[in-house]
Amino acid sequence: MIDSVVFGSLWSQHSIKALFEEGARTRAWLEIIAVLAEVEAEFELIPSSAAQAIAACCRALDVDDSFLDEVRRGREASGHSMQGMIVAIQSRLAAGDAQWVYTGATVQDVTDTWLMIALREARGLIERDLDTTCRALAALARRYRDTPMAGRTHGQQGLPITFGFKVAVWLAELRRHGRRFAEIAARMDLVQLAGGVGSLSSFGPRGLDVQRRFAERLGLHVPLASWTSSRDVLAEWCGVLTLLTGTADRIGHEAYNLQRSEIGEVREGLLAGTVGSITMPHKRNPEISEHLGTLARLTRHLGAAMAEGLVHDHERDGRAWKTEWHAVPEATMLAGRAVELLAQMVAGLEIDAARMRSNLDASGGFMLSEAIMLALATRLGRDAAHRLMYDLSIAARAGGRTLIDAVRGEAAIVGVLDGQELDALLDVASYTGRCAEMVDRVLADAP
Q: Which of 66, 154, 261, 314 is catalytic?
A: 154
- CA distances in angstroms from 143 to 58, 137, 270, 442, 443, listed in the order given: 55, 10, 21, 14, 12
Residues 129 and 60 in one domain: no
Residues 345 and 399 in one domain: no
- What is this structure's pTM? 0.91
pLDDT tens column, 380-428? 899 998 999 899 999 989 998 988 888 888 888 888 888 788 888 888 8
Q: Which of 277, 301, 358, 430 is catalytic?
A: 277
Sequence-distant (6+) residues with CB within 8 A of 99 are: 50, 90
Residues 262 and 353 in one domain: yes
Residues 312 and 167 in one domain: yes
For residues 414, 415, 419 and 424, what is the CA-based torsion angle, rounded to 10 degrees?
-60
* Residue 17, in any domain of the structure: yes
* Residue 208, in any domain of the structure: no
Residues 138 and 91 in one domain: no
pLDDT tens column, 39-72? 999 999 999 999 999 999 999 999 999 999 999 9
Residues 122 and 179 in one domain: yes
Give the helix ranges, DSSP H, for 369-418. 369-380, 382-398, 403-408, 411-414
Decide: 335 and 327 in contact? Cβ < 8 Å.
Answer: no
4 flagged as catalytic: no
* Residue 3, in any domain of the structure: no
For residues 238, 244, 249 and 255, what is the CA-based torsion angle, rounded to 10 degrees?
-170
* Residue 206, in any domain of the structure: no
Domain boundary among 71, 98, 125: 98
- CA distances in angstroms from 105 to 88, 202, 213, 337, 338, listed in the order given: 17, 8, 15, 35, 37
- The CATH number given to whatever domain includes residue 326 is 1.20.200.10
> % helix / strand / coil in the chain, to the nearest 5?
65, 5, 30
Decide: 145 and 434 in contact? Cβ < 8 Å.
Answer: no
Residues 281 and 420 in one domain: no
pLDDT tens column, 237-282? 999 999 999 999 999 999 999 999 999 999 988 766 665 555 756 6
Residues 30 and 61 in one domain: yes
Domain boundary among 66, 98, 130: 98
Phi-psi region of 118 (alpha: psi -120 to 50; beta: other; left: phi over 0): alpha
Sequence-distant (6+) residues with CB within 8 A of 381 are: none
CA distance 72 to 417: 83
Residues 12 and 128 in one domain: no
pLDDT tens column, 296-354? 999 999 999 999 888 888 888 888 888 999 999 999 999 999 999 999 999 999 999 99
Nearest to 191, CA basis, from 213, 163, 168, 164: 213
* Residue 436, in any domain of the structure: no
pLDDT the model gives residue 276: 58
* Residue 238, in any domain of the structure: yes
pLDDT the model gives residue 280: 59
- The CATH number given to whatever domain includes residue 79 is 1.10.275.10
Nearest to 313, CA basis, from 232, 229, 231: 229
- Domain of residue 68, residue span: 8-98
* Residue 198, in any domain of the structure: no
pLDDT tens column, 66-83? 999 999 999 999 988 899
Decide: 389 and 369 in contact? Cβ < 8 Å.
Answer: yes
Residues 292 and 396 in one domain: no
pLDDT tens column, 101-145? 999 999 999 999 999 999 999 999 999 999 999 999 999 999 999
* DSSP character at residue 351: E
Q: Is the dihedral of CA 251, 257, 261, 265 positive or negative?
A: negative
Render 260-318 in DSSP notation, one character per residue: STTT-SEE----TT--S-SS-TT----HHHHHHHHHHHHHHHHHHHHHHTT--STT--H
CA distance 409 to 387: 17
Residues 158 and 235 in one domain: yes
CA distance 392 to 294: 44
Residues 266 and 402 in one domain: no
Show the 3-state SS of 97-165. HHCCCCCCCCHHHHHHHHHHHHHHHHHHHHHHHHHHHHHHHHHHHHHCCCCEEEEEECCEEEEEEEHHH
Domain count for the chain, please give it.
Answer: 3
Helix (H) / strand (E) containing 350: strand 350-351
277 flagged as catalytic: yes
Domain boundary among 77, 98, 119: 98
